[in-house]
Amino acid sequence: MPSKKYAAGPKDQEKIDDTFNKLRQQGKMQWAAHASRFLLKAFVVWKTVEIEGKRVLKGRAVIDSREFNDWLVKDSYPLPEQSEIHHSRGRNCAHLPIPSSP
């Protein structure tokens, strides 16, 4: 699967490396033992959070697996889209009623 990695600045690359190193240390991720035709792209999502009254920029490393999904076996029983549910009920409404629990 030919693919190029996303451009990552030094700050983003440091966050990706730190995250992946922690996952490897925990045994949740490992280096590939041999060459693979799959290349999943990584990027960082930054979010401003408040910690002890100060606004801090917090990053989260993310893997983009959308290209990999094309190689997977399709679901035999996919969930219907919301528009299909509305159509099957014979209604042209924006919301479905959901019964509340007693």
**Residue 27 pLDDT more than 90?**
yes
Q: Considering only residues 21 and 81, tell me which one the structure prediction assigns the higher pLDDT.
A: 21
86 in Cβ contact with 92 (< 8 Å): yes
Contact between 58 and 18 (Cβ < 8 Å): no
Amino acid (one-letter) located at 85: I
pLDDT (tens digit per residue) in 73-95: 777 777 888 778 777 776 555 55
**Strands (DSSP E) along 1-102, which ranges?**
41-51, 54-64
Average pLDDT over residues 51-62: 91
